[in-house]
Amino acid sequence: MGDARSGVRAAGEGADRVLGTSACGAPYAGGAGDRSALFGRRERLMAEAVRGGPKLPGRLREVSRLLSRRFGRPGACGHEIDPIRNLVLTILSQNTTDANRDRAYDHLVKRYPTLPELAAARPSELEEAIRTGGLAKAKAKSILGALARIKEEGGGYSLDFLRGMPLPRARAYLTSLPGVGVKTANILLLFSFGLPAFPVDTHILRVTKRLGLVPAAATLAKAALSLEPHVATGDHVPLHLNLIRLGREVCRPRNPLCAVCPLLSVCPEGARNTKGKVCRP
């Protein structure tokens, strides 16, 4: 998330701002309305349904400590990533690699240097521009649909009206946009708004299931909403980034490297996998 690039130029209220630069805070001025309250209620119910036990905060703290000891404590880059740029990038990143996402974003910015140009793009031409990122038809539809909604409801291509809004309400608004699920919303909330959201991707879901931190049947959204309130203050960014790194390098989908995993001492699956094979710390 820290590979900030400048690109599409914002219009309307933010016309003089190039995406990728730090966005200044603006007080919440409404906009999501009563509908977001409904989404907030649904989200609360989901979180309650999957809420972890009382030991979860302590276990998450220990996991974070062990990961930081191995990988350090990575943080978000020095400045916040512009929310609209982050939204476009995160939609492009769905079901593809970082390299393909970046290629698709580069093509998009070359073809549509400003947000009004992007918002006015023909769907078929936008699809062509982002084809390298995969799922081009669905992603083009999501990007155009989200930009249209944001312009219609906020009066410009800006999400600054979310600043100052409580996290559940801001998430409810974002997840009401086309193509934006809890994971995408949480990435924006954490990296663009500095809120204590906890995005869960497929790596984090796999690792936290193996650790027994979320139920085996948990979805990405349920895992995110159940873990989020139990992550210690200040741990959301490093724990998110370190769990992804662990999932890529150690706790791989097949043949996890349990014997050299920094979490072996706290992992039930690791204990089963290494029974009689390694001296556990």
Q: By the criterion CB under 6 A, which residues form the site for ligand SF4?
A: 207, 210-211, 250-251, 256-258, 261, 263-264, 267, 269-270, 273
- Toward ligand SF4, which CB reaches closer, 168 or 256? 256
Least distance between ligand SF4 and beta carbon 252 (Å):
8
- Toward ligand SF4, which CB reaches closer, 170 or 241? 241
Least distance between ligand SF4 and beta carbon 75 (Å):
23
The DSSP-derived string for 151-211 is HHHHSSS--GGGTTS-HHHHHHHHHTSTT--HHHHHHHHHHTT--------HHHHHHHHHT
- Toward ligand SF4, which CB reaches closer, 154 or 270? 270
Show the tokens assigned to 12: 């309307």
How does 203-231 read in b/e, with b if 16+ C-beta sit within 10 Å?
Answer: bbbbbbbbbebbeeebbbbbbbbbbbebb
Distance (Å, whole) CA 85 – CA 75: 19
- Toward ligand SF4, which CB reaches closer, 95 or 265? 265
Least distance between ligand SF4 and beta carbon 218 (Å):
16
Least distance between ligand SF4 and beta carbon 136 (Å):
34
Least distance between ligand SF4 and beta carbon 248 (Å):
11
Which residue is nearest to ligand SF4, using beta carbons?
Answer: 270
Distance (Å, whole) CA 128 – CA 106: 13
Least distance between ligand SF4 and beta carbon 200 (Å):
15
User: Do the Cβ atoms of 75 and 275 come closer than 8 Å?
Assistant: no
Closest C-alpha among 152, 182, 157, 155 to residue 170 = 182
- Toward ligand SF4, which CB reaches closer, 46 or 220? 220
- Toward ligand SF4, which CB reaches closer, 179 or 256? 256
Closest C-alpha among 176, 156, 174 to residue 165 = 174
Total residues found in the chain within this entry: 281
